[in-house]
Amino acid sequence: MCCNIRAVRDWHPAYTRSMLLLGIESSCDETGVALVESHGNALPLLRAHALHSQIAMHQAYGGVVPELASRDHIRRVLPLTETVLAEAGRSLAEIDVVAYTRGPGLAGALLVGAGVACALGAALGKPVLGVHHLEGHLLSPFLSADPPEFPFVALLVSGGHTQLMRVDGVGRYQLLGETIDDAAGEAFDKSAKLMGLPYPGGPWLAKLAEEGNATAFKLPRPLLHSGDLDFSFAGLKTAVLTQAKKLGTALEVNKADLAASTQAAIVEVLLKKSMAALEQTGLKRLVVAGGVGANRSLREQLNAACAKRGVRVHYPELHLCTDNGAMIAMAAAMRLQSGLVEASERYAFDVKPRWPMASLMTPEAPSRVPA
């Protein structure tokens, strides 16, 4: 921990203020609210967080219904705010900055978090800060009991994004490779749907895979030998569909094997490309973030491969892998500490449903490193 405090201090030595930040996440189907406290340039600490998952509500529709998501965020966000304040023993008046997810995500859902954050900020006379959802995921391992130190290679695997990055500090990100079509999370979710598993498919497929034989079906490992660090998962989904059709009524008894084979294909590609990224950069630290980072098989295989190479690997706490308010408050705190941004009293809640992460990368760092 002391090494991390030093590392954080190095980013912006002039920063000394203490701050209590409220973080609000509402980009998709979880309403997350959290309080993070930062003192000077020490690693910010999570004081309380609360989450409401809409999974049960959307399950009947087989996926997220944006209008229902927005309405539910409206219902949940203020009670969750009261919960975290009570849990941390703090009052609204003590909040210094209100952070919210500005994008990417569902426009209506984002507007709820942004609207509430700006209304709270205006009422309290405190500034607000819009946070990039993926930067929240990326920095979420800093909330864990074993936080990383810069620099590291990051494998960012969420529902809509699969990226490998070199991370030298807050805002100092270089894209090493990314998916050219579906994300790994999408591959899990779409394959699960084809197998008739409930939404969200990833965790269900992973659970079923534990009972199956991962070598039962030969599925493609897209771009495994492409020589670059890009991913492609759309073909895998098609291969799963072909296999499911071929099985017909026999799918039911072979479902666990198909799930295990699908998971093995996704994990192998993520594993091999992550190892290649470590080799290419020469870095000895890997950080995994985003919902797919909760996958047990991925963790086991990354742990084993990293141990063999003398690489330290870090994950967010399991309950902070998927969307939550803590990562939004943390990213805001770390951005403010780094001096890259200032919180604003403009209260313009201009959300960005599409917001490429490349726009956060520092101008001196190329947005893409040549292979």
Q: Which residue has the tokens 């990833």?
A: 202
Taking alpha carbons only, the member of 173, 185, 134, 138 closest to residue 356 is 134
Contact residue for ligand KG4 among 200, 212, 222, 316 (CB under 6 A): 200
Q: What angle do CA 126, 132, 134 make, to 5 degrees?
A: 140
Asked if 295 is part of the footprint of ligand KG4 (rule: CB under 6 A), the reply reads yes
Q: Which is nearer to Zn ion, 41 or 158 (CB)?
A: 158
* Amino acid at site 9: R
Q: What angle do CA 290, 105, 277 make, to 5 degrees?
A: 35
Asked if 162 is part of the footprint of ligand KG4 (rule: CB under 6 A), the reply reads no
Contact residue for ligand KG4 among 135, 189, 230, 257 (CB under 6 A): 189
Interface mask (CB under 6 A) for ligand KG4, residues 301-340, using x and -?
Answer: ---------------------xx-----------------
Taking alpha carbons only, the member of 295, 211, 203, 194 closest to residue 253 is 211
Q: Which is nearer to ligand KG4, 127 or 185 (CB)?
A: 185
Asked if 162 is part of the footprint of Zn ion (rule: CB under 5 A), the reply reads no
Task: Say how far residue 32 (Cα) sits from the centre of its chain.
Answer: 13
Using an 8 Å Cβ cutoff, are 288 and 313 in contact? yes
* Binding partner selected for residue 294 from Zn ion, ligand KG4, none, CB under the kind-specific 5 to 8 Å limit: ligand KG4
* Amino acid at site 11: W
What is the H or E stretch that residue 175 is in? Answer: strand 172-178
Contact residue for Zn ion among 70, 158, 261, 263 (CB under 5 A): 158
Contact residue for ligand KG4 among 23, 127, 201, 212 (CB under 6 A): 201
Taking alpha carbons only, the member of 273, 256, 176 closest to residue 222 is 273
In whole angstroms, what is the distance from residue 185 CA to residue 157 CA? 7
Residue list 121-140, contact with ligand KG4 (CB under 6 A): 137
Interface mask (CB under 6 A) for ligand KG4, residues 206-225, using x and -?
Answer: x-------------------
Kindly write down the DSSP assignment for every residue of 313-332, as one continuous string: EE---GGGSSS-HHHHHHHH
* Binding partner selected for residue 254 from Zn ion, ligand KG4, none, CB under the kind-specific 5 to 8 Å limit: none
Contact residue for ligand KG4 among 127, 290, 316, 325 (CB under 6 A): 290
Using the rule CB under 6 A, give the single segment among 73-81, 237-245, 290-298, 350-358 that binds ligand KG4: 290-298
- Indicate the pairing of strand 285-289 with strand 312-314: parallel
User: CB 81 → ligand KG4: shortest distance, Å?
Assistant: 21
Contact footprint for Zn ion (CB under 5 A): 158, 323
